[in-house]
Amino acid sequence: MTLIGTKMVEDGRTAREIFEELIGNPARKKFGFGNKLAIVNVDVQQAYTRTDMFKTAYETDPKQIEYINQISAGARAKDMPVIWSRVAYKDDAADAGVWGTRTDTEDSLQNIRYGSERHKLDPRCEVGANDLQYTKRMPSAFFETQLASYLVWHKVDTVVVTGGSTSGCVRATAVDALSYGYRTIVPIETCADKHESYHYANLTDLQIKYADVEPVQTAGRQDLRCVGGAQSGVLRT
């Protein structure tokens, strides 16, 4: 039988090496930026950012939140929406559904309570007075939330996804953004995960299929030009 497709490749490269090769030699056309973007900052909350407080927290780039603040401020200055999602559950965790059934320790996802320290945004986050904030229950910032209707109301056509984890809620949000018809951008340095392999494997998959995975400087420059025309962008560098 003639092989036309591909057998799974096993070549000993790390997830990071594969990602860096992909980014260095892009083979596909970019989705690019449209006319108006929104910044969707996913779960930049203490449960996942405060490595000095919680076992569930992780750090990839120490400047992650600084970058998130910069591109969010740039979008805000251009009257483009900035959104912050968090995750939490009621006291009996009944709203966590099947997602909350795999473990049950004090550190488990379903034991993040509304108003708790784990639920709070990281104090380094610079949130604007008119930024949208809400609590979600599932991985995607779109699932059973007001996000989709909010973006429609603001005539957004491009979604920039930041936060954590890269392999979890960032990925789920980016896939849903594309599924809803948005040009989707994931700035590399604004995302974080627990392990290099998870982080880079998912950035690779997002880049190949669902999003433009870009250095934050590239995403920022594009954001500043985003009002008034395609390929137009938030961060001056």
| Per-residue pLDDT tens digits for 16-70 | 999 999 999 888 899 999 999 999 999 999 999 999 999 999 999 999 999 999 9
> In 3D, which of 47, 30, 81 has the Cα closest to residue 186?
30
**Tens digits of per-residue pLDDT, 111-131?**
999 999 999 999 999 999 999
Q: Which residue has the higher pLDDT, 187 or 2?
A: 187
Taking CA atoms, 140 is separated from 84, 126, 135, 151, 201, in Å, by: 12, 22, 11, 15, 19
Question: Is residue 132 included in any domain, yes or no?
Answer: yes
Structural domain range at position 183: 32-87+122-224
Residue 81 covered by a domain: yes
Q: How far apart are CA 160 and CA 135, in angstroms?
A: 19
Q: Within a domain: residue 232?
A: no
- Over residues 216-233, mean pLDDT: 60
Any domain includes 19:
no
Whether residue 214 lies inside any domain: the answer is yes
Contact 202, 12 (CB under 8 A): no
Residues whose CB falls within 8 Å of the CB of residue 129, separated by 6 or more in sequence, listed in order: none
Residue 96 belongs to a domain: no
Residue 189 domain-assigned (yes or no): yes
Q: Is 169 a catalytic residue?
A: yes
Q: Which of 125, 169, 191, 226 does the annotation list as catalytic?
A: 169
Give the count of domains, the chain: 1
φ, ψ at 173 (rounded to 5°) = -70, -40
CATH of the domain at 62: 3.40.50.850
Q: Is residue 8 part of a domain?
A: no
Residue 100: count of CB within 10 angstroms of its CB: 18
